[in-house]
Amino acid sequence: MDLWAYTNRVTLDFSRPGKPTDNPYVESFNGKFRDECLSVNWFLSLDDAREKIEDFRWEYNHFRPHSALNDLTPKEFVNLHQETSETLLSTV
């Protein structure tokens, strides 16, 4: 990985071991993903895993409200801001 990062001019920045507070948003998502997808599914093949994980991702992004988005789903949040942007642009 180090060679790939160097070759592609990517700077690696690791969280400190045992310090989940370094990136609480990722840690929060990882916990939900583990508890609500990985721990409740049996993956019978790589294709089966991809399908089940995609189902989780779709539900998470389209139907699940997020408190950080004022209890909107990510899709609703995007739509709201697109509509706001379009309204602002049409008034200019």
How confident is the model at residue 90, as a pLDDT?
67
- The confidence score (pLDDT) of residue 89 equals 62
Cβ of 75: how many Cβ atoms within 10 Å?
13
Determine contact, residues 61/74, Cβ cutoff 8 Å: yes
Q: What is the mean pLDDT of the chain?
A: 86
In three-state secondary structure terms, 66 is: strand
In this prediction, the residues of the chain whose per-residue pLDDT falls under 70 are: 20, 86-92
CA atoms within 13 Å, Cβ hemisphere of 90 = 6
Is the pTM for the entire model greater than 0.85?
A: no
Q: What is the largest CA-CA distance in the chain?
A: 55
Which residue in this structure is represented by tokens 């909107």? 72
DSSP state of 23: S
- Residue 68 and residue 76 in contact, taking contact as beta carbons nearer than 8 Å: no
